[in-house]
Structure 1
Amino acid sequence: MTPDQMRDASLLDLFRLEAEAQKQVLDTGLLILERDPGNAGQLEACMRAAHSLKGAARIVGLDNGVQVAHAMEDLLVAAQEGLLRLLPDHIDALLQGSDLLLRIGQAQQDDGVQARVESLTARLQMLLGNAVPALRTQPDNSTLLPQQSAEPRQPEAAGAQPAEMPGEERNSRVLRVSAERFDHLIDLSGKSLVEFQRTKPLNESLHRLKRQQESARRTLETLREHLLGTDLDATAQALFTESRNLLLECQQQLQAHQELFDDFVWYGGQRTQQLYDLALASRMRPFADVLTGQTRMLRDLGRSLGKQVRLEIEGENTQVDRDVLERLEAPLTHLLRNAVDHGIEPPALRARKGKAEEGVVQLRARHHAGMLVLEVADDGAGIDLERVGQAVIKRRFATAEQVEQMTEEELLAFLFLPGFSMSQQVTEVSGRGVGLDVVQHEIRRMRGNVRLLQSPDQGCLFHLELPLTLSVVRALVVSIGGEAYAFPLAQIERMLRLPRSAIVQLEGRQHFWLENEHVGLISAAQLLQCSEKQGDDDSIPIVLIRDREQYHGLAVEAFLGEFTLVLMPLDARLGKVRDVAAGALLHDGTPVLILDVDDLLNSVGKLLGDGHLERVDHAGNVRQAVSKRVLVVDDSLTVRELERKLLLSRGYQVAVAVDGMDGWNALRAEPFDLLITDIDMPRMDGIELVTQVRQDPRLRSLPVMVVSYKDREEDRRRGLEAGADYYLAKASFHDEALLDAVQTLIGEARE
């Protein structure tokens, strides 16, 4: 059969699969051999992998694959027989051969591949040199089956091939199922689990019915005893006896059915939980699956930068959801490359510092409190905070005075901003401003968080916390507007109860003190645009969320508990629902919306920018219950007093100012719902005051009314163009006109 006839699609697919598997064996073994060239087990494993690929390539008809694998096999056999010692240059060439064989297996045939094959083969032969001339004349045994060797070899020691699976998994049958069907299976098993929980309240209802029947029986027996001494006709006696017998029969039937239903609830609950746990466990893969190629990547990157780097891994067998692993690969790769490029110093510099010339990057994975905890640490130079500060000033993120007052945590937070890079020049590795912001964005998309710790000349530590699976989420369920909402636990800082007396007013906003830091207080109901339920408790439940270095306290109505929720994506036809990530059902079937905390932070930013926050009041729950406040600015005592008394008579709170400057100071010191101002005033006239208000981000949305003697059209237009919402001429002024205008702008004094 000719090579062309051998190029069957199924055979090529098999060769590709074998190339992928054997490449993993080669890469793992070669990296070990670079540190331990005499490791006989790894030499044997790598030689077998190359030999298998040579035989498989010959069967499929890939001559260039045979050529590369044969040259690799020669070099490895020479090392096995002690004719040469593997050096980094040998490892480089063998790793390139592993990459090239995979590319050939993926049917990427072009002139570039053939040129690389010839170049690499020549390099391998040159490295081999004259060490084993006998190999040139040995018969070619590559026509043997892929798993056969040219001569019998001794069985390998246990653990010689690190890629080999444990015996239990190796002997189990493997069934290939599409990811879509598998996700659908998990979705159905999760919904079955939640739906089955609804049998519990039904079971409780049946128990209540059973107790009620027993109570009815006792009442009937009491009635019978009471009627024993009275005369009853035969009909009444028969009806009484029949009723008693029917009740006893109902009790017996209910008892029998109740016992059966109790068993059904118990065993059914166990089975649905086991089904869901098994389906979920089937998605779980060892953390080592995301590490394929990372050791090789760090080794190659270190050599390209002239650095010696070793990757140490702990927790390779930590189980993680498949989807989390797939989405974790990119940010993890970025952090590892960052550690080599920015963290680990060149060998000469490390030696001058008294460190080992070889830098160490540690990657640790473990489970903690139902979360996946990852730590990426290096023993490099750490972060130069002075350089960070200079970069912050250069990019005009802050002034030099502000940078001097920043803490280390605040400075490090700038490293996560988009476009912020500490690299002095653009290279293939870094310097393009695509940095830690991408890592943080992807981690937050997975409902996780990332923190950076560093110590000068001791290295950096990135601490990542992520959910073990994206199918379920551990969440804090709260009540907002009488409805259930859930905050993913990984995305909130803490929960607390705040005494109403602890609320303070600061710069027009409500705050509270937490560990010597003031935290802004925001109504969660206003944020989600839902009606508020009044509460009489002396404390307010608070959910604390964090936006970089700034905290926000969201006031909710009640904490309903901590639950494990099965995610139910919203209907695609709804598009992206603001502030909401997904839906779920509580154990009793109550629907709950899972909040998107990143989206919530954006909404908080917009609300703060508008400057129209509702107060979390001391007396009510979170909705403002006090009268609306109006500031009257006029240099005429008579006009001020007239307007003040009119507004007070309608229930508004009123403050007064004698001119524009006095009014401007009052607006910046206290919150108001409406500004009423004259135009002609000393120090600052009304037009200037309105202009200042409209230019201030915090006051921009404040309603403004101008009340002036000037009644010309150009005066009216001038006031409205400055930003006034309403213009009222004093010439036509009367009580109801002012009050109607105020009500039009801000509504009743109390709502």
Structure 2
Amino acid sequence: MTDDDLSRQSLLELFREEAGAQTRVLSDGLLALEQRPADAAALEACMRAAHSLKGAARIIGLQDGVDIAHLMEECFVGAQRGELRLTPAHIDVLLRGVDLLLRVGEAKPDAPVTRADIDGFVRRLSSPPAVAGEAPTNDVEHTDADVDVYAQLQAQLQAEALAQRQEAVPADSTDSTGSTGSTGSTGSAAATGKPDAARHADRMLRVRAANLDRVLSLSGEVLVESRWLKPFASSMLRMKRTQRDTSLALDALYDTLAGHLDEVALSALADVRTALNGMQQTLGARIDELDRYERSSANLAQLLYDEALQCRMRPFGDATHAYPRVVRDLARSLGKRVTFEIVGTSTQVDRDILDMLDAPLGHLLRNAIDHGIETPEQRMARGKPADAHVTLEARHSAGKLLISVSDDGAGIDLDTVRASVIRRKLADAETAARLSEQELLDFLLLPGFSMREHVTDVSGRGVGLDAVHEMVKAVRGTVRIFNDPGKGSRFVMQLPLTLSVVRSLLVDVGGEAYAFPLAHVRRTLELARARIDMLEGQQHFAFDGKPVGLVTAHQLLGAQQVDAARESVSVVVIGDERETYGIAVDRFLGERMLVVQPLDARLGKIRDIAAGALMENGDAVLIVDVDDLLRSVDKLVRGGQLDKIGRAHDVAARQRKHVLVVEDSLTVRELERKLLEKRGYAVTVAVDGMDGWNALRSGSFDLVVTDIDMPRMDGIELVTLIKRDPAFKHVPVMIVSYKDRDEDRRRGLEAGADYYLAKGSFHDEALLDAVRDLIGEATQ
């Protein structure tokens, strides 16, 4: 590749940047002119943008771009002079011209801009097509002057193209109208990179994302290192106090020995006192300097970190340039009239989050226009204005980024949602009838769920809202749907302000620090051990009126179990309404703002861990991947491998009698457990004979209390296995059964049971008396 080729490539890059910026100006201006055709400011902005693009295209020899931009510029000039009235049909064609200019800049081999495209653009602009939903007679209001203007433009364009093919046009030549005024110089400045703007304080620079992340990471480390000075300064103050005490002790010694030592010894002692006082003064001065340096260093490090973090932030408006055009084109294709408003364009958003918002916001806007907004006729029949209103808003609230898409359409018909749930067999009719409004609305976020019975080119596949939900989950956020039937709906995404910093709850697990992102923490609590119950062989506790499973963080994270005989357990409640668990940790360490440090890619995905961070003292901390952690919990629950957490009375469990209760009825099982625990016995429960046999082989028990009729293995089989096994045949077994016939009692006792109690005559004292007769009191 020659130097000329390289120079042209760099100029093409500049033109693409220029085209991207100027076509945004053109799109915004055209959408404004559609609402206000006589808007002088919008016309001026569009004319200047077209002129700048024409000059930039001429400099790098893109004749197609020159032709398109020149025709658009003349159209805007004609509108400024009153020779042409812009209508929605004109706007349609001019927006296609904007698309053509972008294609010219991209110069894709598979989609080149041909002369036929340009000639077609000229013809459409000279005679715009009818717009769907509007009467052809009202589509474009042409006057004889309009036709003359376009005829002259087309002839002029062809003549200029012929002349420019015959001779090369120098870079500093005048434009096609022969003017060399300020607008021409503006175009040249635009094409050559705007040297004046390059010296402006607000100029934009392109920086690689990896470099920016590295700067942020280093600034975070600098911030951590600067905070190390404070404890060092505190230790120096302690040294100063020790030195002062030493000086006072030396003064006391001098006074005591003043009458017993000669002059030489006293002089030497006085010299020591003087040197010590001098050292104390010097140390005090240095400590003052260190204190000033510590404050200055911490302040500068904080400023550096804040500025580096701010570099990751971009205004929300940077990601919304295309949406007015998307909304307009989709609304017109569906025969609807929509006024679109963007609120909070200056709201600062993390760069990575902003890049991820494009597809979800597009889905939400299409969903609002296609599903929510009615046709003008339907709106007027319901007493609404013909023009619907769609609002896209971004704002900060309570340390979160809230992005909402709202409309004033028909809202969401809950009966239709319920019918779709039943039709797609996601729930039966009886269950669907009991679903609350919020539960029904949550179905809209499921993959493959759609309100449409037939697929169209706009909707019907059920992937739009699912994509929104997945994106929000990926950045540790939530999405909520608010519905007002007949008046509209609102979709709200609650997202973190930045992915670089996460506010976390620090916990201690086995002597190591771990961080739970606060966005995933529902509650923290100190759970009394007495509140831990056993249900279906798993430990639970009551939370918001519902039983919630309890799991140890030591088992999940592979940490060493700490033997701490505390009366309560520190629990982090995670999950959502459908899946909630309590994670037991050793203790809470408080909340921190942590700078996320990605783990080395060579490590791959570490189970249950998302990233790392550094604490203020420089210690490393691992940030928990809560979604992954919930999957690990579910796997342990299904495998029946959960470790147990000792309850309050389990501290002395080794000194108490241990009873295994085997019962398939939840009611009877829990009644027996509570009775025995109230009397002081340690109790483990099993849901059938097989579960009881496995529990017996993995623990140590003083008594087995079992039912007879149970799935998988009945009580008679369990008693037979126990009495035939040399390791367990000494363990007493008591049968508690509804069957009170003599033959049932005989079968149980022949199998080896030591006691047979009928449930028909069962009452509290009967069970407890039988247990006491077999193994004695709980603490004997």
In structure 2, the partner of 1:216 is: 246
How far, CA to CA, are the matches of 1:478 and 1:465 in structure 2?
25
CA shift in 2, pair 1:7/1:561, >3 Å:
closer
1:72 and 1:124 in contact (8 A); partners too: no
How far, CA to CA, are the matches of 1:667 and 1:340 in structure 2?
62
SS of aligned partner of 2:648: coil
State the 1:427 CA deviation: 2.2
How far, CA to CA, are the matches of 1:584 and 1:592 in structure 2?
5
Counterpart residue identity of residue 236, structure 2: L
How far, CA to CA, are the matches of 2:74 and 2:529 in structure 1?
80
Counterpart residue identity of residue 311, structure 1: F
In structure 1, the partner of 2:145 is: 131
> What aligned pairs does 1:78-477 form with structure 2 within 5 A after superposition?
78-109=78-109, 113-114=113-114, 115-127=116-128, 130-132=144-146, 133-134=148-149, 136-137=151-152, 150=179, 172-228=202-258, 231-232=260-261, 240-241=269-270, 243-477=272-506
In structure 1, the partner of 2:741 is: none
The correspondence for 1:523, drawn from 542, 547, 552, is 552
In structure 2, the partner of 1:638 is: none
> What aligned pairs does 1:8-19 form with structure 2 within 5 A after superposition?
8-19=8-19
**Is 2:92 the counterpart of 1:69?**
no
- Of residues 401-410 and 256-265 in structure 1, the stretch that sits farther from structure 2 once superposed is 401-410
CA shift in 2, pair 1:135/1:48, >3 Å:
farther
How far, CA to CA, are the matches of 1:523 and 1:280 in structure 2?
36
SS of aligned partner of 1:248: helix
- How many matched pairs? 667
1:523 and 1:622 in contact (8 A); partners too: no
CA shift in 2, pair 1:349/1:511, >3 Å:
farther
> What aligned pairs does 1:656-735 form with structure 2 within 5 A after superposition?
663=689, 689=712, 733-735=725-727
SS of aligned partner of 1:444: helix
How far, CA to CA, are the matches of 2:563 and 2:178 in structure 1?
80
5+ residue gaps in structure 1? 156-163, 635-650, 693-703, 710-727, 740-751
- Of residues 416-425 and 99-108 in structure 1, the stretch that sits farther from structure 2 once superposed is 416-425
CA shift in 2, pair 1:221/1:29, >3 Å:
same
Counterpart residue identity of residue 35, structure 2: R
How far, CA to CA, are the matches of 1:402 and 1:323 in structure 2?
41
Q: Deviations over 1:186-243 (max 9, x none)?
A: 21111111121111111111111111221222233333334445x3578875775565
5+ residue gaps in structure 2? 129-141, 162-168, 185-193, 665-680, 732-780
How far, CA to CA, are the matches of 2:652 and 2:488 in structure 1?
49
Counterpart residue identity of residue 176, structure 1: R
- TM-score relative to the length of structure 1: 0.79
- TM-score relative to the length of structure 2: 0.76
CA shift in 2, pair 1:364/1:172, >3 Å:
closer
How far, CA to CA, are the matches of 1:439 and 1:120 in structure 2?
37
- Of residues 557-566 and 73-82 in structure 1, the stretch that sits farther from structure 2 once superposed is 73-82
In structure 2, the partner of 1:716 is: none
> What aligned pairs does 1:29-68 form with structure 2 within 5 A after superposition?
29-68=29-68
The correspondence for 1:608, drawn from 612, 629, 637, is 637
**Is 2:23 the counterpart of 1:23?**
yes
CA shift in 2, pair 1:349/1:503, >3 Å:
farther
Q: Deviations over 1:706-731 (max 9, x none)?
A: 8797xxxxxxxxxxxxxxxxxx7966
Counterpart residue identity of residue 689, structure 1: R
1:482 and 1:532 in contact (8 A); partners too: no
How far, CA to CA, are the matches of 2:47 and 2:151 in structure 1?
17
- Of residues 396-405 and 13-22 in structure 1, the stretch that sits farther from structure 2 once superposed is 396-405
CA shift in 2, pair 1:78/1:654, >3 Å:
closer
Q: Deviations over 1:554-573 (max 9, x none)?
A: 33332222211111111222
> What aligned pairs does 1:449-598 form with structure 2 within 5 A after superposition?
449-535=478-564, 539-547=568-576, 549-598=578-627
Identical columns (%): 45
How far, CA to CA, are the matches of 1:591 and 1:258 in structure 2?
29
Counterpart residue identity of residue 196, structure 1: S
Greater C-alpha Rg: 2
SS of aligned partner of 1:82: coil
State the 1:297 CA deviation: 0.9
2:524 and 2:571 in contact (8 A); partners too: yes
State the 1:537 CA deviation: 5.5
CA shift in 2, pair 1:15/1:578, >3 Å:
same
Counterpart residue identity of residue 489, structure 1: L
How far, CA to CA, are the matches of 2:28 and 2:696 in structure 1?
66
1:557 and 1:621 in contact (8 A); partners too: no
1:567 and 1:583 in contact (8 A); partners too: yes
Counterpart residue identity of residue 516, structure 2: F
Counterpart residue identity of residue 43, structure 1: L
CA shift in 2, pair 1:682/1:212, >3 Å:
closer
How far, CA to CA, are the matches of 1:459 and 1:438 in structure 2?
22
SS of aligned partner of 1:131: helix
- How much is the aligned-residue C-alpha RMSD, in angstroms? 4.1
State the 1:12 CA deviation: 2.1
1:478 and 1:560 in contact (8 A); partners too: yes
State the 1:40 CA deviation: 0.9
SS of aligned partner of 1:365: strand
State the 1:497 CA deviation: 3.9
2:126 and 2:150 in contact (8 A); partners too: no
How far, CA to CA, are the matches of 1:9 and 1:518 in structure 2?
66
Counterpart residue identity of residue 63, structure 2: D
1:55 and 1:145 in contact (8 A); partners too: no
How far, CA to CA, are the matches of 2:651 and 2:452 in structure 1?
47
State the 1:335 CA deviation: 1.8
CA shift in 2, pair 1:149/1:450, >3 Å:
farther
> What aligned pairs does 1:644-663 form with structure 2 within 5 A after superposition?
663=689
Q: Deviations over 1:397-446 (max 9, x none)?
A: 33332222222222222222233233322222222232323222222222
State the 1:629 CA deviation: 6.2
Counterpart residue identity of residue 209, structure 1: M
State the 1:512 CA deviation: 4.0
1:479 and 1:560 in contact (8 A); partners too: yes
2:174 and 2:180 in contact (8 A); partners too: no
SS of aligned partner of 1:475: strand
How far, CA to CA, are the matches of 2:210 and 2:234 in structure 1?
38
How far, CA to CA, are the matches of 2:625 and 2:364 in structure 1?
25
State the 1:353 CA deviation: 2.2
How far, CA to CA, are the matches of 2:519 and 2:11 in structure 1?
47
1:614 and 1:624 in contact (8 A); partners too: no
In structure 2, the partner of 1:720 is: none
How far, CA to CA, are the matches of 1:390 and 1:531 in structure 2?
52
How far, CA to CA, are the matches of 2:207 and 2:409 in structure 1?
44
